[in-house]
């Protein structure tokens, strides 16, 4: 599941185009470097049971920026 949800550079380019972002290659590489860690944080949050009464537990170490 983690691999399927991983934002590859190819998927990122498709999304960037859909979002209407300027398709400058070097700029997009820099942007990918910003987006990819965001997706790691999102994957971490998805793995938490966040139903309102569940006790919060981090499933793994949280990576810092």
Longest distance between any two alpha carbons in the chain, whole Å: 46
The answer to whether 2 touches 43, Cβ cutoff 8 Å, is yes
* Residue 64 binding another protein, by CB under 8 A: yes
Could you say which of 2, 10, 20, 25 contacts another protein (CB under 8 A)?
Answer: 20
Radius of gyration of the chain from its Cα atoms, rounded to whole angstroms: 15
* Residue 22 binding another protein, by CB under 8 A: yes
Distance CA 55, CA 58 (A): 10
Query: What is the contact surface with another protein in residues (CB under 8 A)?
Result: 7, 12, 15, 19-22, 27, 30-31, 34-35, 38-39, 41-42, 44-46, 48, 50-52, 54-58, 62, 64-65
């Amino acid at each position: 599941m983690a691999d399927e949800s991983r934002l590859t550079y190819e998927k990122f380019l498709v999304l960037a185009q859909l979002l209407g972002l300027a398709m400058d290659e070097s700029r997009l590489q820099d942007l990918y470097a910003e987006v990819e860690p965001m997706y790691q944080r999102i994957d971490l949050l998805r793995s938490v049971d966040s139903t309102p009464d569940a006790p919060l537990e981090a499933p793994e170490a949280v990576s810092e920026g």
